Amino acid sequence: MVAFGKIMGNVHARGRVDIKKDGSITGDIASARISIEDGAYFKGRIEIDPTRAPSSAD
């Protein structure tokens, strides 16, 4: 999941969440990996759970 704009609410993703420099997330994130670029905005909690990674069958 890639955030280029404004997201208000919780995000649950399989794999990776990327917040780009002009993106913002206000809410909790649950994913296997996360990336937040310089200039991005994030307010909330992060749960890193490696079991959320996509399986090789996906």
Concatenated DSSP letters of the chain = -EESSEEES-EE-SSEEEE-TT-EEES-EEESEEEE-TT-EEES-EEE-GGGSPPTT-
In this structure, is residue 57 part of a structural domain?
A: no
Confirm whether 52 is domain-assigned: no
Q: Is residue 39 part of a domain?
A: yes
Q: What pTM, to 2 d.p., does this model score?
A: 0.85
Give, in order, the Cα–Cα distances in Å from 42 to each of 4, 12, 13, 30, 58.
Answer: 12, 15, 16, 13, 29
Domain extent for 37:
2-47
**In this structure, is residue 55 part of a structural domain?**
no
Q: Tens place of pLDDT for every residue, the chain, 58 residues?
A: 999 999 999 999 999 999 999 999 999 999 999 999 999 999 999 999 888 777 665 5
Count of structural domains within the chain: 1
